[in-house]
Homo-oligomer: A and B are copies of this chain.
Amino acid sequence: MAIPRAAKTLRRTRIQEEKEEQILEAALDVFSVSGFRGSTIDQIAEVAGMSKPNLLYYFRTKEAMHRALIDRVLFNWLEPLRAFDAEGNPESEIRSYIRRKLEMARDFPRESRLFANEMLQGAPHVLDMLKGPLKELVDEKAAVIRTWIKSGKIVRCDPYHLIFSIWSTTQHYADFDVQVRAVLGEEHSGDGRFEDAARFLEQLFIGGLRPD
């Protein structure tokens, strides 16, 4: 007999572990391209290589799938910002934040697009997280940046917009990948692209933040 869903949270079997993993992997593929509304359970089922009712055995609704995926992805996504450290010197700290964010855009573009899709739609599923945990984390890091400004290590500027500009420039290479490829042409779309972007952005931010 089919289990009451509650049992799953009590004890997880090997199969549950594997299948949920499989499903979320497929869901990431689909949701990151078409967004929540534009994605269908059938698409996810096909990518996952499972039947639709089988998906719905593990996640009761499309919403539940999406929520589980977002929850899973969120923590890692904020890791680079968390690593942003007040102790190090501003230049190397900003340099490595840019690097890390750029690496994530390169290595986890689907995750980046999943968020971008969510933002475009008005963040219906993560608004609380934005206003709560994210805001707090950013406030904290903005305070760090302000101490750098006060001690004259970087130029006086708005720390929030600084953070936004690092987010946007780096994530751009994941979210607008097609455009970047199209404009650079296929010849410049190899490994060199990443290094070129990193070099430019480090130059821009380090130069732009150097105290007068």
This chain: how many copies in the complex? 2
A62, CB-defined interface residue at 8 Å: no
Complex alpha-carbon distance, A36 and B117, angstroms: 12
Q: Count how many chain A residues have C-beta atoms less than 8 Å from C-beta atoms of the other chain.
A: 60
Main secondary structure of the interface of A (DSSP, over half): helix
A204, B208: Cβ atoms closer than 8 Å? yes
Question: Complex Cα distance A121/B204, Å?
Answer: 29
Pair B207/A135 contact, Cβ less than 8 Å: no
Q: A122 — nearest CB in chain B belongs to which residue? A: B178
- Complex contacts, A131 vs chain B, CB 8 Å: 182
How many angstroms from the CA of A34 to the CA of B34 in the assembled complex? 9
- Interface contact B182-A134, CB-CB below 8 Å: yes
Stretch at the interface among A5-13, A84-92, A155-163: A155-163
